[in-house]
Amino acid sequence: MPQHDIEQLQHYWDACPTLKDALFAPVADRPGYFRLLCDKSMIRETVQQQPDFVAQTVVYQTHFNEWKAQVLPMLESMGADTRPAKLIQEISDLLLEKFRGDVLLVESYDVYEQLMTYWNETMQDDSYLIVAEGWKATLYTPQPAAKKYKEGNLKAVKQKVPVTPEDVVCDLLPVSIVVDTYFSELKALTIAAEEKIAENETALSELLEEEADNYLDNTNFANDIINDGNVKKRIRDLKGTPDAEAEIAVLEKYLQLKEDMADAKRVLKVIKGDLLKKLTDKYNALTETETRSLVIEKKWFATLSERLNTEMQQISQNLTTRVSELAERYEQTLTEIDWEIVELEKKVKGHLKSMGFML
């Protein structure tokens, strides 16, 4: 591949001086041309394991951690006298300054843009909420909107009563953060019960599909309906019937899957009810210090860290894609291409002769 094409990636080589040599080597008998040192399937791994790239990731994370340390006192001191517009100006300038100094794979303005986007999406509303109410985490149940009669009068709607953690929200401190921080064991039990339900649903669906034209054909049951009652009746009718063992086994498997699913759903309901009660009690007991720490560290900083890591991953993906494109573009040598052209010319001439053209 030509040196000119590789130089188009100079931004990467400036930030990671030894990365180019890890990917490419000069072609000995063709000055100005390079070859790929690794297999195409190994480009991403080669990039991500290269020391300069790893060092970039470390510097990137270090800058972010240093910025967090700078702005933490400013965020912790937020209160009634905070001016959100001034706050974002100050912390965004500090972020831009922190990332602007070094030659980095990620542009400083891309990092800045991530902060500003998150500010507009979430942090700005959080800031005004803190100014108005302080570091107060209020748990509530969103209620359905009132409906209107044709005459325009409002129709009363039934108030929603929470029965699971999904029924409650907190604008400042998301429920998911409190669950992950204080109730990870209950969360694990919830996930296990949900997975058990999903497994049984899949197994039941597969059984119904496999036996749709056989033992679980609708026409085998009263009113052409497959339900627990009709399946149990069918089993009773088959008792004592010769050669009915296979059908009975399928029907009993159907009932067992339904029972296992019902048991898992009952367990899940109990777990979620217990978790909801514990959540409610925890929100009521949260101190201002706890709320502030959770919001700053596990909501704001955690989200920004995730978004900035995505930027770094995107850089790796972009470089992998660019190098792969170069490798594919120059995969065939000039000699191979010339040979293909000669072969194609022979085929064309053969077709023309068969059509009566004199060449």
* pLDDT 10s digits, 206-241: 998 988 888 888 888 888 888 999 999 989 988 888
Residues 27-40: what's their mean pLDDT? Answer: 86
Residues 177-198: what's their mean pLDDT? Answer: 96
Residues 252-278: what's their mean pLDDT? Answer: 95
- Residue-level pLDDT at 109: 93
| Cα–Cα distance, 327 to 350 (Å, whole number) | 34
| Cα–Cα distance, 30 to 34 (Å, whole number) | 8
- Residue 29 or residue 69, greater confidence: 69
- Residue-level pLDDT at 337: 47
Asked whether the beta carbons of 76 and 134 are under 8 A apart, the reply is no
- Residue 24 or residue 150, greater confidence: 24
Q: Percent of the chain scored above 90 by pLDDT?
A: 60
| Cα–Cα distance, 73 to 252 (Å, whole number) | 64
| Cα–Cα distance, 23 to 39 (Å, whole number) | 10
Q: Which of 188, 148, 118, 168 has its CA nearest to residue 279?
A: 168
